[in-house]
Amino acid sequence: MNPQIEEFQRNGAIVLRGVFGDWIERLREGFEQNLAEPSAFAIENVGNGEGGRFFEDYCNWQRIPAFQDFVLNSPAAAIAGQLMESQQVQVFHDHILVKEPGTSKPTPWHQDLPYYCVDGLQTASYWIPLDPVTRSNTLSVVLGSHRWPKPVRPKSWASNQDFYGATDDHTGQSLFMDMPDVDNGQYPILSPELQPGDAIVFDFRTVHGAAGNNGSCRRRAFSTRFMGDDVRYIQRPGRTSPPFPGIDLNDGDPMREDWFPVVWRRG
């Protein structure tokens, strides 16, 4: 097996160096358009009395030409397909995040998959910084957490309350496990310094988070999420994030290709 594929499968995350160097200016262009023209999904995460700005938005790749260009024409989908060992790749959605200087609010430890309307083992999410990041404001990932026995209970970032409310199955067993204390030194954590052009690729099940940005430079990051062969729709206990209203699928259905196009096939 290719060593990078083996690393991704084993750890649930891998760092790629310099692979998107030719795309950074294009992504910055799209980022600024997104900031100027936010969607209905845009979120301001910093509350009254908190300093800085932590903004995010998602599901914009079909309306912002630079993001569409990246999804369709960059090597991201092909690399994801190789890492996932998938025969084809569908795009799930895109996501931008910006933490302005002086933003103390962190991105809490979480898995992405429990917030999504999908389930499966073949998933890949990119975190691509558009500005240099240090170990103090980079994305951190808990290696091997994609193999934990249950998905981690999703929480609202604003209130820390359960995202869905009741989360038991029909037998009364919890659908989720509580987040362990991953900062206790017993869990292997990857917190890489990154330059524009680098990327972290991680499984939707991999636990990750980020500190605030107390430096003097803004921290912009662009994400795209891709799905492989085994990904299927799952009905969650409540409104997912992103919500995808009107998706009209049942548990176990393949993700509809008119909403989530196939953007790469193995030759």
Average pLDDT over residues 233-243: 94
pLDDT, residue 1, reads: 74
Question: Which is more confident, 90 or 214?
Answer: 90
pLDDT tens-digit series, residues 13-70: 999 999 999 999 999 999 999 999 999 999 988 877 778 899 999 999 999 999 999 9
Please check whether residue 167 is in contact with residue 155, taking contact to mean a CB–CB distance below 8 angstroms: no
103 CB-side CA count, 13 A: 25
pLDDT, residue 161, reads: 82
pLDDT, residue 46, reads: 83
Contacts of 132 (CB under 8 A, 6+ apart): 193, 194, 195, 196, 217
Is 168's pLDDT higher than 70? no
pTM score, whole prediction: 0.95
Average per-residue pLDDT for the chain: 94
pLDDT, residue 47, reads: 75
State percent of the chain over pLDDT 90. Answer: 85
pLDDT, residue 119, reads: 98
Question: Which is more confident, 43 or 221?
Answer: 221
- Say which residue the tokens 């900031």 belong to: 35
pLDDT band at residue 121 using 50, 70 and 90 as cut-offs: very high
Is 160's pLDDT higher than 80? no
pLDDT tens-digit series, residues 64-104: 999 999 999 999 999 999 999 999 999 999 999 999 999 98
Average pLDDT over residues 192-210: 98
Average pLDDT over residues 117-131: 98
Q: How many CB atoms lie within 10 A of CB 88?
A: 16
pLDDT band at residue 235 using 50, 70 and 90 as cut-offs: very high
Average pLDDT over residues 124-129: 98
CA distances from 50 to 7, 99, 108, 139 (A): 39, 13, 16, 21
Task: Measure CA 39 to chain center.
Answer: 18
CA distances from 182 to 145, 159, 186 (A): 10, 20, 7
Q: Which helix (H) or strand (E) holds 8?
A: helix 3-11
pLDDT, residue 219, reads: 95
